[in-house]
Amino acid sequence: MEIQRKSDEKEVKKFLTGENFYAQQILGIQQIGDRFTFRVWAPHAQMIWLVGDFNEWQNTLDMEKDEESGIWEVTTSIPKVGDLYKFNVQRADGSQIMKLDPFATRFEKRPGTAAIVQIPTPKKWRDNLWRGRQRRSDHFKRPINIYEVHASSWKQNENGQPYTFKELKDTLLPYVQKMKYTHIEFMPLMEHPLGASWGYQLTGFFALSSYYGTPEEFQDFVEACHLANIGVIVDWVPGHFCSNEDTLPYYDGTPTFEYEDANRAKNYRWGVHNFDLGKPQVQSFLISSALYWIDTFHIDGIRVDAVSNMLYLDYDDGPWTPNHEGGNRNFEGYYFLQKLTSVLKQAHPNVLLIAEESTSHTQITGPIETGALGFDYKWNMGWMNDLLRFYQMDPIYRKHHFNLVTFSFMYLFNENYLLALSHDEVVHGKKSLMHKMWGDRYNQFAHLRNLYAFMYAHPGKKLLFMGSEWGQFLEWKYDHGLEWVDLNDSLNQHMQRYTTHLNQLYKEERSLWETDYSPSTIRWVADDPEQSILSFIRQGTRKKDFLVVVVNLVPTERLNFKVGVPYEGEYQEILNTEMVDFGGTWEKGNGVQSTIEEEFKDFTYQIKINVPALGILYFKPMNKTTRNSTVKGGKEL
């Protein structure tokens, strides 16, 4: 058999060389009039049959092999739209097994695993205004505040079934608008057979999980988000895939999608298989998947999961084989990731590319010409780990561990960091963010308000996992809805109101996001480990656009506390985390404070304020500010 059309033949050759980034237009299902062509890549299979409910799952539809490409094909009018199908593969050893279509765009609801015959209908999008604004803007200089969502467990119906995207459009979207977030990030939405994997063990790299409704409903959801000025980011998993025998592993009886080296093919930690990222056909498959989601669903960003697993041969718990230099670098993974980001940025320059990566051995963000991987943002795992350790600590010991709070300022500009308090921190016995906080219930809420205010003042874009915005006490459960009943409690209500206020303040104050990745973004005022208090300035692009931030990390009030400021004039308190409206005890804050001409470290002027126990204060200069402080430093970090 030869591939039928010359245009298809050209695209097949590109697939084989790792340069076909729209491979779903050749493989999987193609419609020709009232007939369908089914194609699958399985170079070492002895025979393949197309089977489904249309032929009672019998071997009556033989597929023919193109020997040069290893692609099998059959064109038939027997299957109809909506029918279920699989490929029955006679593998290299002669055994037969029914396998899914790697390029399928729809699957039946689990526990079923068959694909559905379907040809997607192009959507007439109405989000041109949003997409045009994104093309004209620089996201590094824009506010990015992400609400991370697991679609199955944000809310559930009374029968325990998750909301579909049709329902989420009417519930989740208005909630995110009300809470003043800028983006929603979904944990993987692609087809997966086991809810306990949270979507990270994929089987359908081109298919929205049938759990969440139809692809058209997800398209409508994204469009509605864009019309409401909210971006959508989706987690994507190119490093590994589900090990179920009827999915991708050893597809034709030999290593097909996985590495030939068994130590590299098997991921022992997660019970999955690793993609052979150096194989050209696998590169075509994965990059096509990423572009499919961006093109088909207009998503604004992709968060690539488990980048470390793709970069280091010894990242797993099992045995590993050193590279040709004797080291642990996965060169195939490194160069694949550079290729991935390069292709995606060429096609969509403004798409957000975010990496979840936990080491400091490889430059993740920045141009690939410099040796970096080409991502826009990297989750700051060090900041997260240090800070959560600190906030769980008894305050009497904090002065001895103050570097846990300040250390991140020493490496601020090593990468373009995104500060994430994600799902990984509220599961598997780690406790919820609320439950991690030190003290009784009141102090736990005070700590949580403090943590968020410090996070928003710290340079870097933001992400918070669902339920944390009101201080859910119970750990996240992937198979249950969030504890919305918490909001019957006044303290949870106040916490939710506080997060909404902080989100709105973040969007309004340009100095909190405009210069995140410039050394001018922050100027140190003072830190006092003995009192566990620190102060710094967040600076915008304009000279008088800045905030003075004062952070008290122990439950001791500081009266008549002195803080250096860069200009003479008046400073207005715009945030006090301990106000009654937020669940604190202060009915009246500091209000407007006038400067005193008295030296404070590197500053000529200062203000005197009262700092609440476990409180954080933001001060903003009023328009009356006049003379510049004779700053010896006011040092930039």
Name residues whose C-beta falls within 8 Å of residue 156's C-beta, 6 or more positions apart in sequence: 162, 163, 480, 481
Q: How far apart are CA 217 and CA 425, in angstroms?
A: 30
Whole-number Å distance between alpha carbons of 148 and 238: 20
- Residue 254 · residue 262 · CB < 8 Å: no
Block residue for tokens 């080409």:
374
Backbone angles phi, psi at 258, to 5 degrees: -100, 170
Please say whether the beta carbons of 383 and 458 come within 8 A: yes
Phi, psi of 290 (to 5 degrees): -60, -45
Q: How far apart are CA 289 and CA 283, in angstroms?
A: 10
Q: Which helix (H) or strand (E) holds 222?
A: helix 215-227
Instruction: Look at strands 204-208 and 377-379 and give their pairing.
Output: unpaired
How far apart are alpha carbons 450 and 247 in whole angstroms? Answer: 46
Helices (H), 534-598: none
Q: Return the exposure string of 536-572: e unless at least 16 CB atoms fall within 10 Å of the residue's CB, then b.
A: bbbbbeeeebbbbbbbbbbbeebeebebbbbbbbbbe
Q: Do the beta carbons of residue 379 and residue 420 sit within 8 Å? A: yes
∠ Cα 285 286 291 (to 5°): 100
Structure tokens at 1: 């058999």
Neighbours of 457 (CB within 10 A): 23
**322 within 8 A of 220, measured Cβ to Cβ:** no
Is 86 within 8 Å of 55 (Cβ atoms)? no
| Residues 483/472, Cβ–Cβ less than 8 Å | yes
DSSP label at 160? S
E strand or H helix at 161? none
DSSP 411: S
**Phi, psi values for residue 590, rounded to 5°:** -80, -20
User: What per-residue string of b and e applies to 508-520 under the rule 16 or more CB within 10 Å gives b?
Assistant: ebbbbbbbbbeee
d(C-alpha 280, C-alpha 520), whole Å: 43
φ and ψ at residue 523, rounded to 5 degrees: -130, 130
Known catalytic residues are: 305, 356
The whole-angstrom separation of Cα 67 and Cα 89 is: 16
H/E segment holding residue 489: none
In degrees rounded to 5, what are phi and psi of residue 617? -120, 140
